[in-house]
């Protein structure tokens, strides 16, 4: 990986990695209350098994079993999310990067996530459990005033992990490295802590490809389902599970970033980011309106600067969904897509949404590193972009990175 000489674990700042949505393994156990939705979904498994990700379960007809077990239930009376009846879940490998290196260890060739970054950090002297830690979570849930016990427990566990990592490294403050939705989680977490705590325990927050203002592609998830590039997955089969994920509501476009421009077009009306409640009704998901109203404005209307040093790294120059047209066949079909700039998943205006806001905050150190032609996931796989991330962790300034000119020109 390059220019920097490897260092010992005693000489590097401790790092805690917070993955994005779907960026770590999730395990499940079926209890006697579990009722299979299809005859072939009956399971004789005992104990916990890997629910996310087991690639074999994505193949038809087992896709519906996978989707049912991954779904959440929403109770409108209590305004609370929980697992579906008969399914217990847990997040394995908390504190380590093991569960986020490969999402399906039996198929490493297609499920690598953080593995390349982890290897690059270890080449610089980082050691698992000594100076390098992972903070996986149940990515279906979201934080906020209506947070479930699962989300609240994660907030406490993350705080404890950071404090323990600091203590183990001679009380050095920690670098938090977060990808995608992990950046939103991290910002929310930091802003719940006192300023004294932040300054004692956090040296830098490095955000990679964070959708600060949501993404247009997420509207397709709710309208017609999103197979996320897996060719044999029927989007309509996974649509209901995707709609019932609390955190997916969090990733819908927000008006303070996308304004009044049409994002979804139909034969009867257009939808902007201001029309999200009507949009959820019209796509056939009225049960999503109440949790959207109670949760999302609190999470997205103000993204407060954390008042610790921040490095924002994001891709651009990759065709990204900018407008979805369902004019011809309705919401049960794949839309015609008009593309704009972004990282292939998140629109550029969202990737950079906090820059102008935070630049004007007194005392907020902000470093922005745009990487040309780097996709949302490619940024964690490409050798040059990984070097940029490693350099940011090692606090090498961008003007010292000769390869950065090639990436951003």
Q: Which residues are catalytic?
A: 180, 343, 376
Residues in CB range of 186: below 8 A, 6 or more apart: 18, 176, 178, 205, 207
Q: Print burial letters for 185-210: b (CB count within 10 Å at least 16), e (below 16).
A: bbbbbbeebeeeebeebbbbbbbbbb
100/358 Cα distance (integer angstroms): 30
- Residues pairing with 49 in the sheet: 28
Contacts of 171 (CB under 8 A, 6+ apart): none
CA distance 115 to 405: 26
């Amino acid at each position: 990986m390059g220019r920097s000489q490897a260092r010992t674990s005693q000489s590097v700042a401790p790092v805690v990695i917070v993955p994005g949505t779907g960026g770590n393994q999730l395990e499940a156990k079926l209890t006697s209350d579990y009722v299979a939705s299809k005859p072939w979904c009956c399971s004789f498994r005992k104990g916990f098994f890997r629910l996310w990700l087991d690639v074999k379960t994505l193949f038809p007809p087992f896709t519906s079993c996978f989707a049912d077990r991954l779904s959440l239930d929403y109770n409108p009376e209590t305004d609370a999310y929980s697992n579906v009846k008969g399914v217990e879940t847990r997040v394995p490998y908390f504190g380590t990067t093991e569960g986020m290196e490969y999402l399906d260890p039996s198929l490493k060739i297609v499920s690598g996530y953080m593995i390349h970054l982890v290897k690059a950090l270890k080449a610089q002297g980082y050691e698992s459990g000594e100076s390098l830690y992972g903070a996986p979570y149940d990515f279906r849930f979201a934080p906020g005033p209506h947070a479930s016990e699962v989300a609240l427990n994660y907030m406490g566990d993350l705080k404890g992990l950071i404090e323990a990592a600091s203590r183990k490294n001679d009380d050095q403050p920690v670098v938090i490295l977060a990808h995608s939705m992990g950046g939103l989680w991290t910002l929310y977490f930091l802003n719940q802590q006192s300023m004294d705590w932040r300054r004692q325990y956090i040296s830098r927050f490095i955000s990679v490809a964070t959708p600060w203002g949501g993404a247009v592609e997420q509207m397709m998830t709710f309208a017609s389902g999103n197979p996320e590039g897996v060719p044999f997955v029927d989007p309509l089969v996974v649509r209901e599970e995707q709609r019932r994920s609390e955190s997916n509501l969090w990733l819908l476009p927000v008006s303070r970033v996308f304004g009044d421009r049409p994002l979804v077009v139909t034969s009867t009306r257009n939808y902007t980011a201001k029309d999200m409640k009507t949009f959820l009704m019209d796509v056939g998901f009225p049960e999503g309106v109440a949790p959207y109203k109670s949760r999302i404005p609190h999470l997205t209307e103000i993204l407060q600067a954390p008042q610790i040093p921040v490095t924002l790294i994001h891709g651009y120059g990759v065709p990204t969904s900018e407008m979805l047209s369902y004019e011809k066949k309705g919401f049960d079909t794949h839309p015609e897509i008009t593309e704009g700039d972004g990282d292939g998943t998140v629109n550029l205006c969202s990737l950079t949404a906090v820059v102008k806001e935070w630049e004007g905050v007194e005392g907020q150190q902000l470093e922005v590193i745009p990487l040309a032609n780097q996709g949302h996931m490619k940024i964690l796989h490409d050798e040059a972009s990984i070097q940029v991330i490693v350099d940011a962790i090692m606090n090498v300034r961008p003007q010292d990175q000769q390869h950065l000119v090639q990436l951003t020109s």
